[in-house]
Each structure stands twice: as structure tokens, then as C-alpha cells.
A and B are shown apart, each in its own frame.
Chain A
């Protein structure tokens, strides 16, 4: 069985500061990792994904994430956040031959002026 852990349920940060949202996973087979963002009253939008190749993945809106197999992590980072980045962020994975996504519990990022 696989699981995703997002340790921080809420992360407040000031505008233009850097941010890291943490994600750790557990799986007995190879994984494919995703970060989704959910703005208020909207669906889940894909930020970025790791399928294979380079462990540093760049996504939309200036976000990037690094796949670390030894630490079973896929942390999301942005060097300078904006007010508009305020949203809920979900880490998710698929593994083996399954298509279904397994989600973490989400991290609410709040960017303060």
C-alpha cells in the first residue's frame, strides 16, 4: 500500500519570501509524484509532476519540486511567493500500474502582505 504525508497543515508566509511545502511518501513500488493546487471554489489544478529523469521538476507559476528517492520526499518550493499563491496544495502519487491518485491531506498556504 502507498501513502502520502504532508506534515504541515498550514503555512503562513509573507509576500516575496521563499516557501517550502513538505511531502513524504511511502510505497513498495516505483512512484510517480504530483503537486496539485486548489484555489477557493475551484477544482484541483496540476502544478507539476515527476515521472522520471531529472529529479528537479519545474512547474507553473514559478514552483519547483525535487524528487529525493533516498528520503522518499517530493518537497515543493518557490523562491518568492505572491498574494495570489494563497491556496491549498496537495501532494499525490500513483504507483505501479494503477491510475488512481493517492493524496496527502493538503497544506493551506497563506501569503501575508
Chain B
């Protein structure tokens, strides 16, 4: 069964450093998403991406964040200058586009980002 994959599973970085989290969505999916879950808190939406541009974003997704689909398979989340409060589990998800906007989102296993 096709699945969303994410690398690395765990990333440790120092405050102020740039970090790139990588995701490979399911191959025929056209919508891509990033969510995060700070330890002990809710899963929060960050951004959605369709047709090579941001479709929706939350207030969390400020200028420090960016997303990119650099090739036909990867979808990345970049944090330019990490802060301690960016420590969280980051989930990538993807969904088809069949005209029904409530298509299921398929989630990856997550990348645990630790900022020290």
C-alpha cells in the first residue's frame, strides 16, 4: 500500500540554524500539507500546497517557514532560523484531488525536531 514517508525521523539542531524536513507524498496525490505537534499539545495545521503554490496557511506559518516541491517526488519544509519553541513533531500529509475537497489526508510517520 502506498504511504507517505518522511526523513529524518529525528533531527537535532541548534537554535538559529536552518533545518529542512523532507517528505515524499503518495505519487498520484496533488495536495500536500504540513502539521506539527508540540509535545503535550494538539496537532496544528501549518500549510497546504497545491499546483506549486501555497493554498492555505495558518498564523503559525510565518516568514521563518517555507515549503517547496523541488522535484516530482519531494515536498520540503524549511525553517530558516530555528527557535526553541519550534521543537515539535512535524507531520507531512497528502491527498488526492478528485473534486471532493474532503478527500482523506494520508499522514507520514513524522519527524521529531529538537532545537537546543
A→B interface (CB under 8 Å) = 32, 36, 41-46, 49, 51, 90, 92, 94, 97-106
Asked if A94 contacts B102 (CB within 8 A), the reply is yes
In the assembled complex, B56 has its CB within 8 A of some CB on chain A: yes
Could you tell me how many residues of chain B have their Cβ less than 8 Å away from some Cβ of chain A?
26
Complex interface residues of chain B between 31 and 65 (CB less than 8 A to chain A): 31, 33, 35, 41-45, 48, 55-56, 58
- Other A-B pairs, 14, CB within 8 Å; known A100-B58, A101-B105: A41-B109, A43-B91, A43-B106, A43-B110, A44-B43, A45-B107, A94-B101, A94-B102, A99-B31, A99-B95, A103-B42, A103-B43, A103-B44, A105-B41
B→A interface (CB under 8 Å) = 3-4, 31, 33, 35, 41-45, 48, 55-56, 58, 91, 93, 95, 101-102, 104-110
**Which residues in A have their C-beta under 8 angstroms from that of B41?**
105
Query: How far, in whole Å, are A41 and B9 apart by their CA atoms in the complex?
Result: 9
Query: How far, in whole Å, are A4 and B108 apart by their CA atoms in the complex?
Result: 22
Query: How far, in whole Å, are A54 and B93 apart by their CA atoms in the complex?
Result: 27
Query: How far, in whole Å, are A100 and B35 apart by their CA atoms in the complex?
Result: 9
**Which residues in B have their C-beta under 8 angstroms from that of A97?**
101
Asked if B109 contacts A90 (CB within 8 A), the reply is no
Known: A36-B107, A43-B4, A46-B104. A98 touches B42 (CB 8 A): no
Query: How far, in whole Å, are A101 and B108 apart by their CA atoms in the complex?
Result: 15
20 contacts between A and B (CB under 8 A): A43-B4, A43-B91, A43-B106, A43-B107, A43-B109, A46-B104, A46-B106, A94-B101, A94-B102, A98-B56, A99-B31, A99-B33, A99-B48, A100-B48, A100-B56, A100-B58, A101-B45, A103-B44, A105-B41, A106-B42
